[in-house]
Amino acid sequence: MFEPVDPKMDFPAMEREILRWWEEAGIVEKYLRRNEDSPKRFSFIDGPITANNPMGVHHAWGRTYKDMFQRYKTMKGFRQRYQNGFDCQGLWVEVEVEKELGLDSKREIEQFGVERFVELCKERVRKYAAVQTGQSIRLGYWMDWDNSYFTMSDENNYTIWHFLKVCHERGWIYEGTDVMPWCPRCGTGLSQQEVVTEGYREMVHPGLYLMFPLLDREGESLLVWTTTPWTLTSNTGAYVHPDLAYAKVLTEDGEVLYALKSRLSEIKRGYEVIEEMPGRALDGLRYRGPFDELPSQRGVEHRVVLWEEVSESEGTGIVHTAPGAGAEDFKISKQTGLAVIAPLDEFGVFVDGFDWLTGRSVFEVNDGIYESLKAKGAFFRLEDYTHRYPVCWRCDTEVVFRLVDEWFISMDELRDKIADVARRVRWIPEFGLQRELDWLRNMDDWMISKKRFWGLALPVFKCGDCGHVEVIGSETELEARAVEGWDDFAGHSPHRPWIDAVKIQCSECEAVVPRIKDVGNVWLDAGIVPYSTIGYRNDRDYWKQWFPADWISESFPGQFRGWFYSLLVMSTALEDTEPFRNLYSYATMRDGKGEEMHKSKGNAIWFEDGAEKMGVDSMRWLYSRQSPVANLNFGFSTADEVRRRFIIPLWNIYSFFVTYANIDGYDPSAGGPPAGERPELDRWILSELNSLTQSVTQSLDGYEPEPAARRIEAFVEDLSNWYVRRSRRRFWKSDADQDKLAAYTTLYECLTTLARLLAPFIPFVTESMYRNLAAPIADARESVHLEAFPEADESLIDGGLSSAARLAMRLSSLGRAARSQAGVKVRQPVERALVKLRSASEEMRLDSVASQVRDELNVKELSVLDDESQVSRFDVRLDFSKVGPKYGPRTKEVSAALEKSDLAEVAALAQSGKPVPVGAFTLEPDELVVASGAIEGYSVASEGGYTVAVPTDISPELRLEGAARELVHLLQNMRRAADFDITDRIVVYYEGDAALDEVIGLHAGYIRQETLADDVRRGTPPEGAHVEERSVNGLSARLGAMRQAR
RNA sequence: GGGCCAGUAGCUCAGCCGGUUAGAGCGCAGUCCUGAUAAGACUGAGGUCCCUGGUUCGAGUCCAGGCUGGCCCA
């Protein structure tokens, strides 16, 4: 006996129950050890999840893939490490801890105490690592949770040191001066990677027009436009486009101005053009700067330079440049020789040398700047200007551009090597490679420093006396080189502030040198994991066994220049080899309407909410069937649809099976007839099952979950809507014969195979099914997840069976359409259906499925249309897939000849299987597709060369039979309404229309059999019977069903 | 300006190696079946497969150019 199955399962409750059992029975433990002695290895290396907040449903998407492939490989017998990773260090954690503490700047952190602050960062990471672990377990993600790696670990940090030392030895590490996007609140530069990720906001800035008076042309000025007035303090030049047309104009207010001709409308007052010239004519003109009175501007020459990128679509075509406050400007200044003035300190406050501005924040000086410009007569016009402008990705503060010293890894020598390594990897989807190469072509040197507290301590020591730079590659090297502070540091993790105590001696000048204060870029932390987590430094043999990863997976946004990039850079530098062989990547999660999910918008779904409302199997299936290149629209209704369309039908089949298996006492351990000796329907579904197993295996071996999931859906649909639908009677008939046993055995095999095939996708439903179904089998494993993945038995795959079943389904569908058209319901038997197929070989095939089609369409007889005289219209077409290749360019002539032929004649010949002369050609019958348009006395439906026709006239006998079936239908409904058991026997009573006697007289046996009635009697139903007044095909009846004692 | 992706029904998306009558789900209208019963099936309406050219006997599918949207880089 199987446990009875609740057809209205509460899936989330079931999942919780199974989680409890997994825990109690130690199943995960057994799973993790299942293959520990296997010679086959599958190396998955986890991209660390930031342990800074609870995980969301979008993380569950990626984790579903990770779990699926590890489970699949486990079932296939591969030994694995099952190691999860947590990303720990970096600004994102600092910002959250700052919020908790109510701190708002680096100064406040320093006052609070860096040591306490860093401890709190560590604590936060541990807390959320635990939260995410719990959530992942709820998802059914089976990992070795006690063995997760943390990027803040000593080993991770020291392995990065090693990497940096290798880079340094090759001369790639340098300290550079550059203008970087800078967050004045966080007090740190933002790397290229950080700014381009969601780092832009729409904002309103001043659009300020002002004049730069030309020194060499008295009374004439350049008209300039800027959206960052504060940078005017550091102006040293103005760009004009060399080739565009500029104009000199006289305004109605008497100003003589230069501006781009196409932008003169910006003047917004009356003017006349005095002269036109190309931009290059203005090259080198000197002008009086807007803030020449500031000490920092002393001695600076301001002049016009040419730049081809000057925009024609905004401003005046004359662009103010402050090379100390703009990234592009700084680069250009190296060629033009324009002076560089750096105005801001790390908090965005003006430094010394800026007179009244010094000590004031960049965000509060605009009004003063306007006043000053007005006083100097340089102010022209001010308006609001809305544009996208970078903000700090962590705290949303508006970014400034600031001249700073940062540390970089030079990419000049690495760039091409990395590209070669990237090309050795299989990228899924394929275009991933193009994206990565595109990034590799465009990237700048990698900025690895950050002026913060919580992160990798860059092991860089720069001598204050002689400028010599040294990079320390390990903790032992540091200890050996330490001349000061080692005792204070010993016993601590290599983080600030403890590490800052250690000083070394300069190997050039013997000065005592402290570490630079900077911490590292977070992508270093994640990029090193294929080295740090598998013993690269300390156990090279072990490392070689697991490196490179066979498979990694993350979503695209950010990763091509984030994790994928850092993995490639670091592995190329260390070993010049690929750190992973296959990469599976996927798009972005949106809400149910396709809009971006944001906590602030209120359309984000918490993982727990999702899990408890939809059940994680629904979520997991939704993810599994998603095309990875497309964004996933995720919502409660989409998950619900998945449950309705896939999980519930699957469950219904299972529940159906268990219901009848229990009634019949089916015992799977007793075996059944050999597959080859079972009825065609069984052999068909087994063929489909094995072919499914084959293609799912192939897809998963190729790391493509989506086609696997879609194939499984199609199979479940066939199983439900054809196999079970067609087999129902076999299960509930009363004889216990071979046919019934074959049906049970077949459906049992389908369900247990499906449970194993689906186990990596939906671990809960499959576990529930498998445990119940496998219980009677002596050597079954206790959990489906300890089972082997199904192996396809190719000998059971038979394309002919598949075609026959497709044919049956198609004919049934057409027959229903024909019935529907004529208004004859399926319950009403009809004499015959006429069918017309595409070929003679299909007619052979028809025999094997004719009984199914007859049954499905409720017809007495199924025959191939042979009396062509009844057909009043023929539709004959070429089968181009055969004719095309054979006749090539002459296909059109064949087609034209056919159109001129007598279609009835052609059809007749084709039907009889003889060669058909068509014009100058002779066609084989199977090169033609013949359909019948209309047939006298029939309702006809045609599609794709198939025709099914059913008669529109019904004989009186058939009407009576129809009424009997109607009666059975009503009685069945009454049985259910009365809540009788499926096996209860009844006595039927009826009163009403006299014509009922004839119906019942003829079909009492049938009615008794179908409704499990011992007798059918005319008369008033006794007390206690279930009674309903009904119309039976127009005959009024009062029906009673009386349950008999068991 | 460059790279990548997408454009198929009202909406969300399938469509393998090119085969001539393009599918599913949701939604809408209607019907049916049901001893899987708070499921299921069918029918119908709804398409310029973004546009233009090319290759081909044949193009939603391949090629070129363009348009629109998204992502990325300048």
- pLDDT digit string, tens, across residues A466-521: 999 999 999 999 999 999 999 999 999 999 999 999 999 999 999 999 999 999 99
Task: Please tell me whether any atom of strand B lies within 7 Å of the Cβ of A431.
Answer: yes
Nearest nucleotide over every DNA/RNA strand to the A653 CA, judged by C1': B36
The residue written with tokens 């993945």 in the block is: A789
**A196 has pLDDT over 60:** no
User: Between the ranges A71-80, A692-701, A915-924, where is the mean pLDDT highest?
Assistant: A71-80
Inter-CA distances, A489 with A158, A282, A322, A920, Å:
15, 61, 44, 98
Alpha-carbon distance A416 to A218, whole Å?
A: 54
- Token pair of A342 as six digits: 């750096």
Return the number of other C-beta atoms located less than 10 Å from residue A992's C-beta.
Answer: 17
Task: Please tell me whether any atom of strand B lies within 7 Å of the Cβ of A366.
Answer: no
For residues A650-669, b (16+ Cβ closer than 10 Å) or e, as one string? bbebbbbbbbbbeebebebe
Nearest nucleotide over every DNA/RNA strand to the A645 CA, judged by C1': B25
User: What is the 3-state secondary structure of A42-101?
Assistant: CCECCCCEECCCCCEHHHHHHHHHHHHHHHHHHHCCCECCCCCEEECCCHHHHHHHHHHH
**A1005 has pLDDT over 90:** no
Kindly report which amino acid residue has its CA closest to the C1' atom of nucleotide B41: A721
Torsion of CA A157, A163, A167, A168, to 10 degrees: 50
Per-residue confidence band for A408, with pLDDT thresholds at 50, 70 and 90: very high
Residues A933-948, mean pLDDT to the nearest whole number: 77
A875 CA to B14 C1', in Å?
30
Q: Is residue A462 within 8 Å of A516, Cβ to Cβ?
A: yes
What is this structure's pTM? 0.87
Q: Which residue, A896, A674, A671, A635, is CA-closest to A795?
A: A674
Q: Which residue, A811, A873, A869, A872, is CA-closest to A845?
A: A811
What pLDDT is stored for residue A838 in this prediction? 72
Kindly report which amino acid residue has its CA closest to the C1' atom of nucleotide B37: A976
A776 CA to B41 C1', in Å?
34
**A430 has pLDDT over 90:** no
Region of A284 on the Ramachandran plot (φ > 0 left; ψ -120 to 50 alpha; else beta): left
- Residues A377-400 pLDDT 10s: 999 999 887 776 777 777 778 888
- Residues A670-685 pLDDT 10s: 889 999 999 988 999 9
For residues A238-267, b (16+ Cβ closer than 10 Å) or e, as one string? bbbbbebebbbbbbeeebbbbbbbebbebb
Give me the A residues in range 182-211 that sit within 7 A (CB) of strand B. 192-193, 196-198
A629 CA to B51 C1', in Å?
25
Task: Please tell me whether any atom of strand B lies within 7 Å of the Cβ of A410.
Answer: no
What pLDDT is stored for residue A888 in this prediction? 83
What pLDDT is stored for residue A395 in this prediction? 75
Per-residue confidence band for A869, with pLDDT thresholds at 50, 70 and 90: low
**A1027 has pLDDT over 70:** yes
Task: Please tell me whether any atom of strand B lies within 7 Å of the Cβ of A652.
Answer: yes
Residues A784-798, mean pLDDT to the nearest whole number: 94
Task: Please tell me whether any atom of strand B lies within 7 Å of the Cβ of A620.
Answer: no
A722 CA to B20 C1', in Å?
30
A417 CA to B65 C1', in Å?
35
Nearest nucleotide over every DNA/RNA strand to the A659 CA, judged by C1': B36
Per-residue confidence band for A414, with pLDDT thresholds at 50, 70 and 90: very high
What pLDDT is stored for residue A959 in this prediction? 87
Give me the A residues in range 223-262 that sit within 7 A (CB) of strand B. none
User: Facing residues of A391 across strands?
Assistant: A398
A816 CA to B15 C1', in Å?
26
For chain A, percent of residues with pLDDT exceeding 70: 97
Q: Is residue A465 within 8 Å of A741, Cβ to Cβ?
A: no
Kindly report which amino acid residue has its CA closest to the C1' atom of nucleotide B26: A641
Task: Please tell me whether any atom of strand B lies within 7 Å of the Cβ of A710.
Answer: yes
Q: Is A117 helix (H, G, I), strand (E, B) or coil?
A: helix
DSSP state, A376? T
What pLDDT is stored for residue A963 in this prediction? 87
What pLDDT is stored for residue A307 in this prediction? 86
What pLDDT is stored for residue A535 in this prediction? 95
A348 CA to B12 C1', in Å?
47
- Token pair of A627 as six digits: 């095309």
What pLDDT is stored for residue A195 in this prediction? 65
Q: Which residue, A688, A519, A706, A687, is CA-closest to A629?
A: A706
Q: Which of A320-329, A456-465, A744-753 has the lowest mean pLDDT?
A: A320-329
**A154 has pLDDT over 90:** yes
Task: Please name the residues in contact with A618: beta carbons below 8 A apart, sequence gap of 6 or more.
Answer: A11, A639, A640, A642, A643, A647
ipTM given for this complex: 0.89
Residues A813-842, mean pLDDT to the nearest whole number: 81
**A950 has pLDDT over 90:** no
What pLDDT is stored for residue A202 in this prediction? 66
- Token pair of A246 as six digits: 């500029």
Give me the A residues in range 800-819 that sit within 7 A (CB) of strand B. 813-814, 816-817
A645 CA to B23 C1', in Å?
17
Give me the A residues in range 845-874 that sit within 7 A (CB) of strand B. none
Task: Please tell me whether any atom of strand B lies within 7 Å of the Cβ of A595.
Answer: no
Residues A902-924, mean pLDDT to the nearest whole number: 81
Instruction: Give chain A's count of helices (H) and strands (E).
Output: 34, 40
What pLDDT is stored for residue A1010 in this prediction? 83
Give me the A residues in range 981-1010 that sit within 7 A (CB) of strand B. 982-983, 1010
Per-residue confidence band for A755, with pLDDT thresholds at 50, 70 and 90: very high
Task: Please tell me whether any atom of strand B lies within 7 Å of the Cβ of A825.
Answer: yes
Q: Give chain A's radius of gyration (CA, Å).
A: 40
Q: Which of A118-127, A212-221, A841-850 has the lowest mean pLDDT?
A: A841-850
The percent of chain A in helix, strand and coil, each rounded to the nearest 5, is: 45, 20, 30
What pLDDT is stored for residue A742 in this prediction? 93
Task: Please tell me whether any atom of strand B lies within 7 Å of the Cβ of A600.
Answer: no
Kindly report which amino acid residue has its CA closest to the C1' atom of nucleotide B21: A944
A316 CA to B9 C1', in Å?
49
Task: Please tell me whether any atom of strand B lies within 7 Å of the Cβ of A973.
Answer: yes
Task: Please tell me whether any atom of strand B lies within 7 Å of the Cβ of A1044.
Answer: no
What pLDDT is stored for residue A192 in this prediction? 61
A998 CA to B44 C1', in Å?
37
Nearest nucleotide over every DNA/RNA strand to the A434 CA, judged by C1': B4
Kindly report which amino acid residue has its CA closest to the C1' atom of nucleotide B12: A633
What pLDDT is stored for residue A199 in this prediction? 60
Task: Please tell me whether any atom of strand B lies within 7 Å of the Cβ of A662.
Answer: no
Torsion of CA A992, A993, A994, A1000, to 10 degrees: -80
Nearest nucleotide over every DNA/RNA strand to the A713 CA, judged by C1': B24
A814 CA to B42 C1', in Å?
10
A984 CA to B61 C1', in Å?
58
Please give the backbone phi and psi of residue A490, each rounded to the nearest 5 degrees, phi first: -50, 135
Residues A191-198, mean pLDDT to the nearest whole number: 59
Task: Please tell me whether any atom of strand B lies within 7 Å of the Cβ of A644.
Answer: yes
Arithmetic mean of pLDDT over chain A: 88
**A933 has pLDDT over 70:** no
What pLDDT is stored for residue A186 in this prediction? 82
Give me the A residues in range 436-455 that sit within 7 A (CB) of strand B. 438-439, 442-444
**A311 has pLDDT over 90:** no
**A19 has pLDDT over 70:** yes
Task: Please tell me whether any atom of strand B lies within 7 Å of the Cβ of A419.
Answer: no
Per-residue confidence band for A789, with pLDDT thresholds at 50, 70 and 90: very high
Task: Please tell me whether any atom of strand B lies within 7 Å of the Cβ of A556.
Answer: yes
Residues A725-735, mean pLDDT to the nearest whole number: 82
More confident residue, A821 or A549: A549
Residues A49-60, mean pLDDT to the nearest whole number: 91
**A589 has pLDDT over 80:** yes
Task: Please tell me whether any atom of strand B lies within 7 Å of the Cβ of A1043.
Answer: no
Alpha-carbon distance A72 to A756, whole Å?
A: 10
Indicate the pairing of strand A986-992 with strand A1035-1043. antiparallel
Per-residue confidence band for A903, with pLDDT thresholds at 50, 70 and 90: confident
- Residues A269-288 pLDDT 10s: 889 999 999 988 999 999 99
**A540 has pLDDT over 90:** yes
User: Facing residues of A182 across strands?
Assistant: A189, A400
What pLDDT is stored for residue A308 in this prediction? 79
Query: Does residue A628 have a cis bond before it (omega within 30 degrees)?
Result: no
Q: Which residue, A567, A520, A523, A563, is CA-closest to A406?
A: A520
Q: Is residue A633 within 8 Å of A591, Cβ to Cβ?
A: yes
Task: Please tell me whether any atom of strand B lies within 7 Å of the Cβ of A587.
Answer: no
**A65 has pLDDT over 60:** yes
What pLDDT is stored for residue A568 in this prediction? 95
Kindly report which amino acid residue has its CA closest to the C1' atom of nucleotide B71: A557
What pLDDT is stored for residue A940 in this prediction? 81
Alpha-carbon distance A56 to A63, whole Å?
A: 11
Chain B nucleotides covered by protein, CB below 7 Å: 2-6, 12-15, 19-21, 23, 25-26, 30-44, 56-58, 71-74
**A170 has pLDDT over 90:** yes
A310 CA to B1 C1', in Å?
13
Task: Please tell me whether any atom of strand B lies within 7 Å of the Cβ of A945.
Answer: yes
Angle at A674 between CA A671 and CA A679, to 5 degrees: 115
Inter-CA distances, A878 with A544, A807, A889, A903, A934, Å:
61, 20, 15, 12, 20
A698 CA to B44 C1', in Å?
39
